[in-house]
Structure 1
Amino acid sequence: MGLLTTVAVPIEHLFNTLPVYQLVLLGFTALITLVISLNVARQLLFKDKNAPPVVFHLIPGLGSTIWYGMDPFDFFFSCREKYGDVFTFILLGRKVTVCLGTTGNEFILNGKLKDVNAEEVYTPLTTPVFGTGVVYDCENSKLMEQKKFVKFGLTLEAFRSYVDLISNETKLFVQEGAPFRGPAGTVDIVPAMAELTIYTASRSLQGKEVRAKFDSSFADLYHDLDMGFSPINFMLPWAPLPHNRKRDIANKKMTETYMEIIKARRAQGGKKEGDENDMIWNLMNCVYKNGTPVPDDEVAHMMIALLMAGQHSSSSTSSWILLRLATRPDIQEDLLEEQKRVLGEDLPPLTYESIQKLKLNSQVVKETLRLHAPIHSIMRKVKSPMAIVANTPTTTKTYQIPTTHTLMSAPGVTSRESEFFPEPMLWEPHRWDDGHELAYTRDGLDKEEFEDYGYGLISKGASSPYLPFGAGRHRCIGEQFAYVQLGTVLAQMVREIKLTSPPGSKLVETDYSSLFSRPLNPAIAEFEKRGLKTSEKS
């Protein structure tokens, strides 16, 4: 009794003498300590042997969000070393099961609709950015119809016309654009390439009328839309955060821009002689299988989605291409010499056919996508319980994945593995040469299988270690356009400028703050205009 009294008196005295805010702080600290302790105990004492191992974390709800968000590849490789190819981590309160390797890519990317679902995962992110009724804000069958509609602009005939448009936009941008003003200087690569990508994508995919409305301010709008893909919006897309307010303003402005064009075209009573047969005219005349014409607001939202899709991959990748080339003057000169050797010393205007002949040009694009694919993670919601056989650090095991989990594939991991790519972190376009000492080891993994999900035959193969555009029914429909756009921009840039890295600088790090990775700003390179004389023949 005496001991209890002795203990109670100081505690009572403590509560009577401390200010209220300190008592609240003490109580909050005690609560946090208890929550963390219970979370740790649960992970150590109550493991489900049939479920994938859970990445150890202290704070429930937050889990491994910060580590994954800062550097997903460091996270993936570190966790694989400890847990194996399959493991689960907590991402903003969500249980995410990562399946790495070619087996994991195949398991997720070619999963059946009854087992995995993309719409439920991505609609909180994409709907506020693209708008309602399109992409993931609709049933998968409707999305497949929309993909079929936009394939109008992704044909071989269209690509042939795009090369001239893209090369002209690139040449004009370097010669007259603000980022490359003067015969030599420095350029901030990321915003410059974001601006150029908007011009090339809008002019080729969406037509002269749309391109005429775009200036550098529209590149800023698309940046604001892009920041709507912030990882926190998986949980809080509605939150009144600064980046969400900018996202909503940008979406409204872009929608209004397209709606004005559509309204004016409706008023003129249809396409007239001399009007370009562009994507807007195409979508305005499309009809869903149930007989419903595509509503004008969905046309506008599809145009936003189409330009965003083209902008993401090409803006990020072209930035990385130029930054990598700045560290390799030898590759720049090899590229120029290739053009002179293959196309002619007078460097005639680029064409679709001539771009296909430039092997090293293509390899620079391919190697850059290998190390810097814009999308580092691909997710699906588990709809039916699934089982996967996985390699662990010590054995092989079968795990059961419940419907409470989200699946995550990371194709970029296999493209950074020495098993397939010797010295994988070395950027070396010549590794794609036949017989090169760093040559890509295929071993039959590039087997192509094709399937029509409703918008034409596409490769469904997911077993290749090189999947910069995904695989399966959600494989990027604009993959071939991206190669045409990137290849053309690169070929024209090599004619226009020489790039070098500032003295003492290192390659910039990657910005993973959005769902789409890009070089961290500022990313400065030095340029010198070549002033080459090229053929004026069309």
Structure 2
Amino acid sequence: MLLLAAINLPVIAVVINVLRQLLLPRDPSLPPEVFHWLPFVGSAASYGNDPMSFFFQCREKYGDVFTFILLGRRVTVALGPKGNNFILGGKSTTFNAEDAYTHLTTPVFGKDVVYDVPNEVFMEQKRFVKVGLSMDNLKAYVGMIEEEVENFLNHDGQFLTYQIGDINEWGQFDVSKVLAEITILTASRTLQGREVREGLDKTFAQLYTDLDGGFTPINFMFPNLPLESYRKRDRAQAKMSKYYTDIIEKRRQNPNHEDEHDMIAALMSQKYKDGRPLRDHEIAHILIALLMAGQHTSSATGSWIVLHLANNPEVAEALYQEQVKHFMGPDGKFRSMTYDELRELPVLDSVIRETLRRHPPIHSIMRKVRDDVPVPATLAAPASGKNRDRTYVIPKGHFVLASPLVSQVDPKTWRDPLKWDPYRWSDPEGVAAQAYNEYYDEKGEKVDYGFGAVSKGTDSPYQPFGAGRHRCIGEQFAYLQLGTIVATLIRKLELRMEQPMPGHNYHTMITMPTLPCKVVYRRRAFD
């Protein structure tokens, strides 16, 4: 009897859920709800496996605004530039990021930073970070990054085999693994500080791995599971926090001017508006946040760039010839780049922009709704085009979701949107250039959310670093880091792809290539 009940109850639950959606009258003020078979689970599988296809299919049926069930959460999606502007340009008192993300970020980053503090405090912390990303520091970082990449290629085992001997001999490397290692090496050498770079041993790597294991979709959806990975995360966070605070304490005891270009030095000199200096554990936790966030996004984007260059050798050759033109001397050797020169390389710039368009690191940006909020009628118009004066209301307690991914591959905006084509950025009057100018808007309206005036960029169909008050403050460093890494790699290596281009792995917080993820290479003749 009990067995029969156990079998029947789930079936009854599914039937009731379906009948509720088909037969019960809906509140016309609410956005349409995506049909789903399983209660509580909702559309989790469709969304989690392929969010891009899920969003486009739902838009076709329901319009740009709809609600879907995600493991018990009601998530209202607003698509397109208007939807991004509505959510990312909305007030933090209405669409709140802390409520949406603190259960994921606080156990990893630590207390009293980022989403574990009120929004106005987080904006001050972003201002502190901006001090560490000064122009003088950025200029100093280019040579450091270039040196780290060259050292990696000259000392890593998988590249040593083909360093000496027949230049026609081809090797192979795992793109995701190599770019992850290069990214953490270059970030630690520049932003994180001399002591962190010198301490990058197996112990630190294991701490990072354990901490990274707590930064996954399952941690976002279920923050308090009694799993060993959660316990490893917590132990690693405590140890890494102490690792940084020990460095800070030693610096206070022994000031050293050689450290002036890193983020630790910048943060140690900052004070909140009320005059209170940053506490050591706050500095440590900001550094952890920078390490985790920057590592994922830059290594993912770098991986996609290398894969596309291997798959498009004509673009890789154009990128190489750009380096030859600007930096190769009569002796056949490359000289070091400068920050200003790096910004004036159109092929390299287009490769980075196009990769960020086609593969934005984050496909969904969520907020939690603190008060009932009406949806503008122009955004709420249903797919059928009827009732264009309809206004929906998103209730308090819902989540809202914006998707830069949809805007960046929308055929309504982009020609051949799924094609990786860096040359689309060469037309100064084209859609890509207009979207880029709208995103950065150097001469247009600026908004100061508390960390300096920026273009909010919420109207642009191109938003690789987010938009509004939570726009990534590290985008200048990311461009510099990616540009220097890619330029150095392309100087040293010819790349080819011997497998189909990998797809997207949407099961990670940052969209990575699916495995296997390998390219073949050979050393340049002069190397």
Amino acid at match of 1:352: Y
Match of residue 4, structure 2, among 26, 42, 45: 26
Q: Is the 8 A contact 2:436 2:460 kept in 1?
A: no
1:511 and 2:517 are equivalent in the alignment? no
1:253 and 2:239 are equivalent in the alignment? yes
1:386 and 2:361 are equivalent in the alignment? no
What is the rounded CA distance, in whole Å, between the counterparts of 2:263 and 2:344 in structure 1? 28
> 1:5 matched to which residue of 2?
none
> 1:520 matched to which residue of 2?
514
Amino acid at match of 1:501: M
Q: Is the 8 A contact 1:368 1:427 kept in 2?
A: yes
What is the rounded CA distance, in whole Å, between the counterparts of 2:319 and 2:470 in structure 1? 33
Correspondence 1:97-108 to 2 at 5 A: 97-108=76-87
> 1:308 matched to which residue of 2?
292
Amino acid at match of 1:173: F
Q: Is the 8 A contact 1:509 1:519 kept in 2?
A: yes
Match of residue 477, structure 1, among 464, 473, 488: 473
Match of residue 304, structure 2, among 302, 320, 323: 320
What is the rounded CA distance, in whole Å, between the counterparts of 1:33 and 1:442 in structure 2? 49
Question: Residues 443 and 224 (structure 1 numbering): CA distance in 2 closer, same or farther, change over 3 Å?
Answer: closer
Amino acid at match of 2:211: L
Structure 2: gaps spanning 5 or more residues: 163-169
What is the rounded CA distance, in whole Å, between the counterparts of 2:228 and 2:421 in structure 1? 40
Correspondence 1:224-243 to 2 at 5 A: 224-243=210-229
> 1:424 matched to which residue of 2?
417
What is the rounded CA distance, in whole Å, between the counterparts of 1:246 and 1:528 in structure 2? 39
For each residue in 1:34-88, what CA deviation from the matched residue of structure 2 results, as whole angstroms up to 9, or x when unmatched? 1111111111123222111111111111111121111111111111111110110
> 2:165 matched to which residue of 1?
none
> 2:18 matched to which residue of 1?
40
User: What number of residue pairs does the alignment pair up?
Assistant: 507
Q: Is the 8 A contact 2:113 2:286 kept in 1?
A: yes
Q: Is the 8 A contact 1:421 1:441 kept in 2?
A: no
The Cα shift of 1:238 comes to 2.0
Question: Residues 153 and 524 (structure 1 numbering): CA distance in 2 closer, same or farther, change over 3 Å?
Answer: same
Question: Residues 529 and 500 (structure 1 numbering): CA distance in 2 closer, same or farther, change over 3 Å?
Answer: same
For the residue of structure 2 that corresponds to 1:136, the secondary structure is helix
Q: Is the 8 A contact 1:190 1:522 kept in 2?
A: no
The Cα shift of 1:231 comes to 2.2
The Cα shift of 1:417 comes to 1.1
> 1:214 matched to which residue of 2?
200
> 1:14 matched to which residue of 2?
none
> 2:451 matched to which residue of 1?
455
Structure of larger gyration radius: 1
Match of residue 408, structure 2, among 415, 432, 445: 415
The Cα shift of 1:425 comes to 0.6
1:336 and 2:320 are equivalent in the alignment? yes
What is the rounded CA distance, in whole Å, between the counterparts of 2:232 and 2:171 in structure 1? 32
Match of residue 492, structure 2, among 482, 496, 504: 496
Q: Is the 8 A contact 1:94 1:405 kept in 2?
A: yes
Question: Residues 220 and 465 (structure 1 numbering): CA distance in 2 closer, same or farther, change over 3 Å?
Answer: farther
What is the rounded CA distance, in whole Å, between the counterparts of 2:328 and 2:7 in structure 1? 73
What is the rounded CA distance, in whole Å, between the counterparts of 1:217 and 1:329 in structure 2? 39
For each residue in 1:266-320, what CA deviation from the matched residue of structure 2 results, as whole angstroms up to 9, or x when unmatched? 333xx14544453223322322222322221111111100111221221100011
Amino acid at match of 2:383: P
Q: Is the 8 A contact 2:327 2:336 kept in 1?
A: no
Match of residue 190, structure 2, among 194, 198, 204: 204
State TM-score, norm by structure 2: 0.92
For each residue in 1:307-336, what CA deviation from the matched residue of structure 2 results, as whole angstroms up to 9, or x when unmatched? 112212211000110111110111111111
Q: Is the 8 A contact 1:50 1:399 kept in 2?
A: yes
For each residue in 1:73-117, what CA deviation from the matched residue of structure 2 results, as whole angstroms up to 9, or x when unmatched? 111111111111011011121100000001000000010122211
> 1:190 matched to which residue of 2?
176
Amino acid at match of 1:420: T
For each residue in 1:218-261, what CA deviation from the matched residue of structure 2 results, as whole angstroms up to 9, or x when unmatched? 45543443332322323421212243233223323322321221
What is the rounded CA distance, in whole Å, between the counterparts of 2:42 and 2:305 in structure 1? 35
For the residue of structure 2 that corresponds to 1:78, the secondary structure is helix
Question: Residues 249 and 283 (structure 1 numbering): CA distance in 2 closer, same or farther, change over 3 Å?
Answer: same
1:299 and 2:293 are equivalent in the alignment? no
State TM-score, norm by structure 1: 0.90
The Cα shift of 1:217 comes to 5.8
- Of residues 140-149 and 396-405 in structure 1, the stretch that sits farther from structure 2 once superposed is 396-405
Amino acid at match of 1:74: S
1:264 and 2:250 are equivalent in the alignment? yes
1:123 and 2:102 are equivalent in the alignment? yes
The Cα shift of 1:410 comes to 0.2
Amino acid at match of 2:83: G
What is the rounded CA distance, in whole Å, between the counterparts of 2:424 and 2:175 in structure 1? 25
Amino acid at match of 1:31: L
The Cα shift of 1:28 comes to 1.2
Match of residue 529, structure 1, among 516, 523, 526: 523
Q: Is the 8 A contact 2:193 2:259 kept in 1?
A: no
What is the rounded CA distance, in whole Å, between the counterparts of 1:515 and 1:360 in structure 2? 29
Q: Is the 8 A contact 2:111 2:285 kept in 1?
A: yes
Q: Is the 8 A contact 2:323 2:491 kept in 1?
A: no
What is the rounded CA distance, in whole Å, between the counterparts of 2:321 and 2:228 in structure 1? 48
The Cα shift of 1:177 comes to 1.8
For the residue of structure 2 that corresponds to 1:229, the secondary structure is coil
For each residue in 1:365-397, what CA deviation from the matched residue of structure 2 results, as whole angstroms up to 9, or x when unmatched? 110000111111101111121111223221233
The Cα shift of 1:483 comes to 0.7
> 2:341 matched to which residue of 1?
354
For each residue in 1:492-525, what CA deviation from the matched residue of structure 2 results, as whole angstroms up to 9, or x when unmatched? 11101111112xx211121222221111233111
What is the rounded CA distance, in whole Å, between the counterparts of 2:219 and 2:238 in structure 1? 18
- Of residues 44-53 and 227-236 in structure 1, the stretch that sits farther from structure 2 once superposed is 227-236
Q: Is the 8 A contact 2:65 2:76 kept in 1?
A: yes
Match of residue 482, structure 2, among 481, 486, 492: 486
For the residue of structure 1 that corresponds to 2:462, the secondary structure is coil
- Of residues 440-449 and 456-465 in structure 1, the stretch that sits farther from structure 2 once superposed is 440-449
Q: Is the 8 A contact 1:321 1:364 kept in 2?
A: yes
Q: Is the 8 A contact 2:194 2:259 kept in 1?
A: no
The Cα shift of 1:216 comes to 6.0
Amino acid at match of 2:521: F
Question: Residues 445 and 394 (structure 1 numbering): CA distance in 2 closer, same or farther, change over 3 Å?
Answer: farther
Q: Is the 8 A contact 2:143 2:336 kept in 1?
A: yes
> 2:357 matched to which residue of 1?
370
Amino acid at match of 2:363: H
Question: Residues 261 and 435 (structure 1 numbering): CA distance in 2 closer, same or farther, change over 3 Å?
Answer: closer
What is the rounded CA distance, in whole Å, between the counterparts of 1:532 and 1:297 in structure 2? 48
- Of residues 37-46 and 222-231 in structure 1, the stretch that sits farther from structure 2 once superposed is 222-231
> 2:37 matched to which residue of 1?
58
Structure 1: gaps spanning 5 or more residues: 1-22, 534-538
What is the rounded CA distance, in whole Å, between the counterparts of 2:393 and 2:253 in structure 1? 58
